[in-house]
Amino acid sequence: MKRLGILVMFCAQLMCADSDMSIRMPDVVLDAIRHCECLKEADGTCNPNVIRINADEDTQRAKAAGFAVNGHIIRCNSSEECSVQAQALINGGITNLDLGPYQINYKYHPNPMLHEYFVDATEREHANRIITGLVKSFGYSWETLGRYHHFCATDRTRNETYYRKMYAYIYGNNSQTQSSAQ
C-alpha cells in the first residue's frame, strides 16, 4: 500500500507540474539516494566530505600528484578542504568526480560553487532536479532511479543493484543496504 501511495503521489505531481522547479520528489526517494550514495563510516554515519574519482587512470594521476586517495576515495576533514581539493583536481584536468553526500558528478553537473556539493540541503535540491529530469525523460520506475547512480542503460546489472538498495531502504529491509553503492 505504501508503494502505491508513493507512486500515486509522484504521478500526480508530474501531471500537475509545468516546470522542473514545481516537481518535488518524495522525501523518501531523496533519503534513499543519499543513503545509497553517501560514504558510510565505520559507525554507519554518512560522511558528506568525500570526493570519488571515477576513472582508474585519473585515480592514478591524483595519487601521483600527492592526493591522499584510498581506492577511488578522498576523505576530507571539512567541506572547505573538499572544495580546495576538488578545485585542484579539476585544475589538473580530472573532472569525472562524484562529490558530497549525494555523489553528484561534476563532469555532467558542473557547478562553479564547489563548496555547494558538500552542503546537504543544497545538494538535496540538486539531486531532486537530477532525478526529476531522469523521470521526465525515462518515466517513473526503479530502473530510472537506478540511472541516478549510473546513467548508462546498457549496464543493467549495476543499475539493478542500485535500485534494489533504494527499494530495501524505502521499504525497511536495511540488511541489504549496509554497503555503499560505490
DSSP string, 34-66: HHHHSEE-TTS-EE--EEEE-SHHHHHHHHHTT
Find residue 97's DSSP bridge partners. Answer: 53
pLDDT of residue 158: 67
Instruction: With a cut of 80, say whether residue 177 has pLDDT above it.
Output: no
Find residue 105's DSSP bridge partners. Answer: 98
pLDDT of residue 15: 47
Find residue 70's DSSP bridge partners. Answer: 73
Of 27, 75, 33, whose CA–CA distance to 52 is shortest? 75
pLDDT of residue 173: 61
Any idea where the domains of the chain sit in the sequence?
25-174
Residue type, 182: Q
On whether the CB atoms of residues 112 and 88 are closer than 8 A, the answer is: no
pLDDT-derived band at 10, boundaries 50, 70, 90:
low
pLDDT of residue 142: 77
Instruction: With a cut of 80, say whether residue 143 has pLDDT above it.
Output: no
Enter the DSSP assignment of 78: S
Which one has a higher pLDDT value, 25 or 98? 98
Segment 108-137 mean pLDDT: 94
What is the pTM (predicted TM-score) of this model?
Answer: 0.78
